[in-house]
Amino acid sequence: MLGIYFSGTGNTKYCIEQFVKELDTTAKCISIEDVNILDEVHKNDFIVLGYPIYFSNLPKIVRDFISQNNSIFKGKKVFIIATMGLFSGDGTGCSARLLSRNGADIVGGLHVKMPDCIGDEKALKKTIEQNKELVKRATIKIKNSANRLNNGHPTQEGIGILYHIAGLFGQRLWFYGKTKKYSDKLKINTDKCVGCGCCTQLCPMNNLSIANQKAVQNGKCTMCYRCISNCPRKAITLLGKNVYEQCKIEKYL
């Protein structure tokens, strides 16, 4: 068994690690950004795949990873975990359909509500205590789902036509343009930025670089909010104009 994930602020990494630990304490969990990811997938017949949902769709980096490496999933059993701040409809189904076309056997799916990572919008903000309680409930749900898988009755959240319809009409049809391509909307406040390079080291897309002692973006943002949540000067925004909270899983454990 192998857990693989893409995680911006740590939510999905936490969920995958908790789920896999319930099934096999010796199993690895690694990011799709890991240089050894393809070798590790080749060596394992059962994959637990995790990712966050953006606007009821896959992050572009996850869609590209599956599409560019479709042959490695042929014949693999895959259980999918999708994390979200509010709603996804068919969050697990988005990748399940891609993987099935490439010969994977989709075992089941799980949707997990976690603290919202969109730190530059007020809309979904909760207190730290509320987010801690959300993580506690998520942990219980993960354990229950792992037990069901162990007992031969895996959860099927997000998989099937009704979930698909909910995802399409809930958000994806209206916001498909936001996730179809990488975003060029990342904004850097040059008055706040000190060119420390923290964001350049964290970006999974190498979208950020330093020029003239300031961070600049190169139009290939996958919307993970990793840079926004870690910038020491709160100089980076994406959907909003100000950073209201830097959202990292460590704050809620």
pLDDT digits (tens, 9 = 90+) for 179-215: 889 999 999 999 999 999 999 999 999 999 999 999 9
- Which of 126, 145, 179 is the C-terminal boundary of a domain? 179
- Which of 179, 202, 228 is the C-terminal boundary of a domain? 179
| Same domain for 169 and 191 | no
Residue with tokens 């997938």: 41
pLDDT at position 179, please?
84
22-73, pLDDT tens digit by residue?
Answer: 999 999 999 999 999 999 999 999 999 999 999 889 999 999 999 999 899 9
The token duo for 185 is: 């909307």
In sequence order, the β-bridge partners of residue 236 are 188
Amino acid at 132: K
Q: Which long-range contacts (CB under 8 A, 24 or more apart) does 133-140 make?
A: 134/252, 135/14, 135/249, 135/252, 135/253, 137/113, 138/15, 138/112, 138/113, 138/114, 139/18
**Stated pTM of the model:** 0.95
| Same domain for 191 and 108 | no
Gyration radius (Cα) of the chain, Å: 18
Q: Domain total for the chain?
A: 2
d(C-alpha 15, C-alpha 3), whole Å:
10
| Same domain for 233 and 138 | no
| Same domain for 242 and 158 | no
| Same domain for 54 and 115 | yes
DSSP state letter for 9 = S
pLDDT at position 88, please?
83
| Same domain for 107 and 164 | yes
Count Cα neighbours of 162 within 13 Å in the Cβ-side half-sphere.
2
| Same domain for 134 and 208 | no
Cα torsion 200, 120, 137, 32 to 10°: value is -30
Residues of the chain with pLDDT > 70: what percent?
100
Domain that holds residue 81: 2-179
Mean local confidence (pLDDT), 149-174 = 88
* pLDDT band for position 133 (cuts 50, 70, 90): very high
| Same domain for 155 and 196 | no
| Same domain for 155 and 40 | yes
Residues of the chain with pLDDT > 90: what percent?
86
- CATH code: domain of residue 38: 3.40.50.360
| Same domain for 106 and 49 | yes
| Same domain for 191 and 174 | no
pLDDT at 170 over 80: no
* pLDDT band for position 87 (cuts 50, 70, 90): confident
| Same domain for 134 and 56 | yes
Across 87-96, 176-185, 188-197, 220-229, least confident range: 176-185
CA 76 from chain centre, in angstroms, equals: 21
pLDDT at position 231, please?
97
- Which of 158, 179, 200 is the C-terminal boundary of a domain? 179
Residue among 231, 140, 219, 141 at smallest CA distance from 190: 231
* pLDDT band for position 142 (cuts 50, 70, 90): very high
Across all residues in the chain, what is the average pLDDT? 94
